Structure formats: C-alpha cells, structure tokens
A and B are shown apart, each in its own frame.
Chain A
Amino acid sequence: AQSVTQLGSHVSVSEGALVLLRCNYSSSVPPYLFWYVQYPNQGLQLLLKYTSAATLVKGINGFEAEFKKSETSFHLTKPSAHMSDAAEYFCAVGHNAGNMLTFGGGTRLMVKP
C-alpha cells in the first residue's frame, strides 16, 4: 500500500524566509507525487506534480519540489515566504491501480510579518 507522511503539522516562518515543507512517501512502484494547497474555506489547488520526468519540479507561486528516490522524499520549498502563502499544504501520491490520491496529513504554514 502507498502512504504519505508529512513531518510537522504546523510550520511557522517569517516573511521572506525559506519555506520547507517535508513529505516522505512509501510506494512499491515509481510514484506520481503531488503537492496541493488549500486556502481557508476553499478546495485544493494543485501546486505541482512529479510524473517521472525531471526530478526538480517547478510549480506555481514560486514553489518547487525535488523528487529524491533514495530518500523517498518530495519536499516542497520556496526561497522567500509571502504572507499570502499562509495556507494548508497537502502532499499526495497517485495510484496506478486505483486512480485515487492518498494524502498526507497536511501541514499548516503560518507566515509571520
């Protein structure tokens, strides 16, 4: 079975600081990996996804993530946090057989002025 672990349910950074949100997965086959963002009272919006092409994936709003097979990780980063980045972030793995997404527990990012 595939699973996703997000370390840190809450992360707080200062405006302008580096954002690092951690995601580790377990999968018996090459995974498809996604990062979604959820703003308050809204649905999930795709930030970026890894589908076995380039290991460094660039997404929207200045975010990027690097797929590291040896570490089974897909951490999300952004060089400089903005106040508007405050939201909940979900890492997810796609299933070849079932088509559904399996989500991590989410990380709430807070940005301090």
Chain B
Amino acid sequence: GAGVSQSPSNKVTEKGKDVELRCDPISGHTALYWYRQSLGQGLEFLIYFQGNSAPDKSGLPSDRFSAERTGGSVSTLTIQRTQQEDSAVYLCASSFGSGGRAAETQYFGPGTRLLVL
C-alpha cells in the first residue's frame, strides 16, 4: 500500500517568506507526527496529532511554526517569516494510534528539504 507522502520534496525560499509543507499519512493511521532534521540539532520532534484530540505542540521551536490536520488525515506545517536557521529536512510520520502508542512503529515519509536563502 501507499506510504507516507510529503510535498514538495524540495523547497527554496527567501528569508521572510512563509512556506507550507504538506503530509499525507498512511490511510487509517490516526496519529501523525512532524520532525525536523538539521545538521546542528539532529532529529527533533515538532508536533503530534492524535485523532480529534488537541495536538501536542511542545516541540515547536517558535510561534512562527504552526500545523493543522484537516479531517483527521492530511496535515500542513506552516512556517511564517522564514529564517535561515529554519533550513532543514522536515519529516512527517504516521502510526495506527492504537493503545500503547509509545511502542508503535512510526512510518516516515521521504521529507521536504527546505532551504532558506
């Protein structure tokens, strides 16, 4: 079956512009995660959605970052007024979201490589 897909695969933007990154999780997965992978910080958790519950935003680095998930499926990560330090690969993952979620396998998309000039 189809895996997690992300678009665009690459994005180049100018400092100060807003960007939107999209994630399509695996069908039937109720849990969705965003991570950021950068040279200086490694892999960092950003935000987590589970069904209709309020998202866990504890990993968002600043209020310039926001995310939403429409209809319990597709998610969009928005970065406003981008800065050069936002340059990174943004990875989306999904999981079934059943009981014992900490043990669940997260399935990752290929990522969006963001470059802020």
Contact = CB atoms under 8 A, between A and B. Distances in A.
Q: Which of A44, A103, A105 has the most CB of B within 10 A?
A: A44
Contact of A90 (B43, B44, B105, B107): B43
A105 B41 CA distance: 8
Interface string B28-44: 00010101000000111
Size range of the chain A interface in the assembly? 20 to 34
B108 to A, nearest CB: 4
B105 A46 contact: yes
Nearest to A105: B42
Interface stretch (A11-19, A64-72, A75-83, A91-99): A91-99
A4 to B, nearest CB: 10
Contacts of B111: 42-43
A46 B107 CA distance: 8
Nearest to B4: A43
Contacts of A49: 103, 105
Q: Which of A32, A36, A46, A100 has the most CB of B within 10 A?
A: A100
Size range of the chain B interface in the assembly? 20 to 34
Interface in B91-117: 91, 93, 100-111
A42 B110 contact: yes
Contacts of B70: none
A32 B58 CA distance: 20
A101 B45 contact: yes
Given A101-B45, A102-B45, A32 B110 contact: no
A100 B43 CA distance: 11
Interface in B69-101: 91, 93, 100-101
